[in-house]
Structure 1
Amino acid sequence: MEIAGWIIVILLFAVGLAGAIFPILPGALAIYAAFFAYGFFISFQPFGFWFWTIQTLIVVVLFIADYAVSAWGVKKYGGSRASVIGSTIGIIIGPFVIPAFGLILGPLLGAIIGELLVGSNLNLALKVGLGSVVGLFSSMVVKVILQVAMIVLFFIWI
Structure 2
Amino acid sequence: MDIALLLIGFTCMIVGIFGSFLPVIPGPGLSWLGILLLYLTHAVPMNYWILGLTLAVTVVVSVLDYLIPAKGTKKFGGSKYGIWGTNIGLIVGIFAPIPFGFIVGPFVGAFVGELIYDSKDHGRALKAATGSFIGFLASSFMKFVICMIFLGLFIGVAWQHRAFF
| Counterparts of 1:7 and 1:135, CA distance in 2 | 34
Which stretches of structure 1, 4 residues or longer, exceed 6 Å deviation after superposition?
none
Gaps of 5+ in 1: none
Identical columns (%): 32
| SS in structure 2 of the partner of residue 126 of structure 1 | helix
Pairing of 1:19-34 with structure 2 (within 5 A)? 19-34=19-34
| Counterparts of 2:114 and 2:150, CA distance in 1 | 37
Say if 2:84 is the partner of 1:85: yes
2:65 aligned partner: 66
Q: CA deviation at 1:101?
A: 3.1
Say if 2:117 is the partner of 1:118: yes
Counterpart contact for 2:36–2:51, Cα < 8 Å: no
Q: CA deviation at 1:123?
A: 1.2
Bigger Rg, which one: 2
Counterpart contact for 1:46–1:157, Cα < 8 Å: no
State the TM-score, normalizing by the size of structure 2: 0.84
Q: CA deviation at 1:119?
A: 2.3
The total of aligned residue pairs comes to 157
State the TM-score, normalizing by the size of structure 1: 0.87
Could you give the per-residue CA deviations for residues 92-150 of structure 1, whole angstroms, max 9, x where no partner exists? 22143242131221111100111122225211111111111111111111111112112
Q: CA deviation at 1:45?
A: 4.4
Gaps of 5+ in 2: 159-165
